[in-house]
């Protein structure tokens, strides 16, 4: 559907309330593909978002699912004490470091029943039976990958497209197996390098994600062979995004560096460097346990407007994000991409 319809722009699914139905609908209505992020939502909450998005647009949109982690019995007592001390700054407690499956089975049933046009998977590959069920109802399956090895595993499951994520992407790395000894959970590749390496391994349409914030970036990845560009950070400051005022202010200021961290969730993710990240550079590889552990702290910091205890996910190019309505951004990106492609052709 993505390649056949010639959709060159995709709004990345951003969990935590950022990818609102309003944002997804606006992007799809403008000629891109909007996405809903199901991470940390119940199946009922996701169903409500799907209904809200369909009430806003008749255009297709996608839903992203987190593949559950297999890591369960981990000793997080020491890290829990660190989170407890930080949370106390706003009168909060640490959460329970429990494992959960993010309501994954129920959400799989939901997207099958709702016949969502595009379903993407992050943090691993779904069971083959899930891919087959989605194909039976006409759903296009996208699997997010960061390495050629992951691309081969996804291709073996008959994924329709791969979303290739470069190291400069904001938010969580999509690595299948989080290697605690590596900052990014696995090998780190820039986006164009990742595209080339994956192209050498599999023959599937590719969506490019990571550091794409301007139309010239879109043109670059399309010229490299991708069928579409996926942008997350660029949409963080759109009017329809659910980004908090605290994070919007930090993005607008543009003064912080970005880095990869496990401090907030137990999975490597890129965000704006703040005190909690700096104090917890050696956070354990334990998702979703750490995510559940820090949730009350993050909620309290959000209410207090304290950027030092929030997970301020953003890509390396965050300072170039432009606040405007999502439809206007889609239009500008397409105009810029066409201009960049025409300029490059004229120079050959």
Which residues partner with 82 through β-bridges? none
d(Cα 3, Cα 228) in Å, to the nearest integer?
Answer: 8
Distance of alpha carbon 173 from its chain centroid, rounded? 8
d(Cα 183, Cα 181) in Å, to the nearest integer?
Answer: 7
Domain boundaries, the chain: 2-71+102-251+322-347
Distance of alpha carbon 130 from its chain centroid, rounded? 21
Token pair of 98 as six digits? 């429990």
Surface-to-core class of residue 328, CB atoms within 10 Å of its CB (0-12 exposed, 13-18 middle, 19+ buried): middle
For 266-304, how does the pLDDT look when each residue is reduced to its tens digit (9 = 90+)?
999 999 999 999 999 999 999 999 999 999 999 999 999
Counting DSSP H helices and E strands in the chain, the numbers are 13, 11
d(Cα 126, Cα 297) in Å, to the nearest integer?
Answer: 31
CA nearest to 191, candidates 176, 170, 177? 170
Angle of helix 191-199 relative to helix 215-223, nearest 10 degrees? 20
Can you say whether residue 266 is alpha, beta or left, with left for phi > 0 and alpha for psi between -120 and 50 degrees?
Answer: left
The domain over range 2-71+102-251+322-347 is classified in CATH as 3.20.20.70 = yes
DSSP 3-state of 161: strand
d(Cα 247, Cα 239) in Å, to the nearest integer?
Answer: 13
Listed in sequence order, the residues at least 6 apart from 221 whose beta carbon sits closer than 8 Å to its beta carbon are 191, 192, 195, 208, 212, 229
DSSP 3-state of 134: helix
End-to-end CA distance of the chain: 32
Per-residue pLDDT of the chain (348 residues; tens, 9 = 90+): 898 878 899 999 999 999 999 999 999 999 999 999 999 999 999 999 999 999 999 999 999 999 999 877 789 999 999 999 999 999 999 999 999 999 999 999 999 999 999 999 999 999 999 999 999 999 999 999 999 999 999 999 999 999 999 999 999 999 999 999 999 999 999 999 999 999 999 999 999 999 999 999 999 999 999 999 999 999 999 999 999 999 999 999 999 999 999 999 999 999 999 999 999 999 999 999 999 999 999 999 999 999 999 999 999 999 999 999 999 999 999 999 999 998 878 877
Q: Decide: pTM greater than 0.85.
A: yes
For 43-86, how does the pLDDT look when each residue is reduced to its tens digit (9 = 90+)?
999 999 999 999 999 999 999 999 999 877 789 999 999 999 99
Contacts 24+ apart (CB under 8 A), 189-193: 189/146, 189/147, 190/166, 191/164, 191/165, 191/166, 191/167, 191/221, 192/166, 192/220, 192/221, 192/224, 193/166
Token pair of 41 as six digits? 């939502």
Which residues partner with 37 through β-bridges? 64
């Amino acid at each position: 559907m993505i390649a056949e319809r010639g959709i060159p722009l995709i709004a990345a699914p951003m969990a935590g309330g950022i990818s609102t139905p309003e944002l997804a609908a606006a992007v799809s209505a403008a000629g891109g593909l909007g996405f809903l992020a199901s991470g940390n939502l119940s199946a009922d909450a996701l169903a409500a978002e799907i209904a809200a998005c369909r009430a806003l647009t008749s255009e297709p949109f996608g839903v992203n699912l987190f593949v559950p982690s297999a890591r369960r019995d981990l000793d997080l007592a020491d890290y829990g004490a660190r989170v407890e001390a930080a949370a106390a700054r706003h009168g909060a407690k640490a959460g329970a470091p429990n494992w959960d499956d993010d309501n994954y089975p129920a959400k799989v049933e939901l997207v099958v029943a709702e016949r969502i046009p595009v379903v993407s998977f992050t943090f691993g590959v779904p069971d083959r039976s899930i891919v087959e069920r989605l194909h039976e109802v006409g759903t296009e399956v996208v699997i997010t990958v960061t390495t050629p090895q992951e691309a081969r595993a996804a291709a073996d499951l008959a994924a329709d497209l791969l979303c290739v994520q470069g190291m400069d992407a904001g938010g969580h790395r999509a690595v299948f197996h989080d290697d605690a000894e590596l900052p990014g959970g696995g090998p780190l590749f820039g986006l164009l390098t990742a595209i080339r390496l994956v192209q050498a391994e599999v023959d599937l349409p590719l969506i490019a994600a990571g550091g794409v914030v301007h139309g010239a970036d879109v043109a670059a990845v399309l010229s490299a062979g991708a069928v579409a560009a996926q942008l997350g950070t660029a949409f963080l400051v759109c009017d329809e995004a659910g980004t908090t005022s605290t994070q919007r202010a930090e993005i607008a200021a543009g003064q912080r560096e970005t880095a990869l961290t496990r401090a907030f969730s137990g999975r490597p993710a890129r965000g704006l460097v703040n005190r909690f990240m700096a104090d917890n550079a050696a956070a354990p590889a334990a998702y979703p346990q750490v995510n559940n552990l820090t949730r009350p702290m993050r909620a309290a910091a959000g209410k207090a407007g304290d950027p030092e205890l929030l997970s301020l996910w953003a890509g390396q190019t965050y300072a170039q994000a432009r606040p405007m309505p999502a439809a206007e951004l889609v239009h500008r990106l397409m105009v810029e991409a066409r201009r960049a492609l025409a300029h490059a052709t004229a120079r050959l």
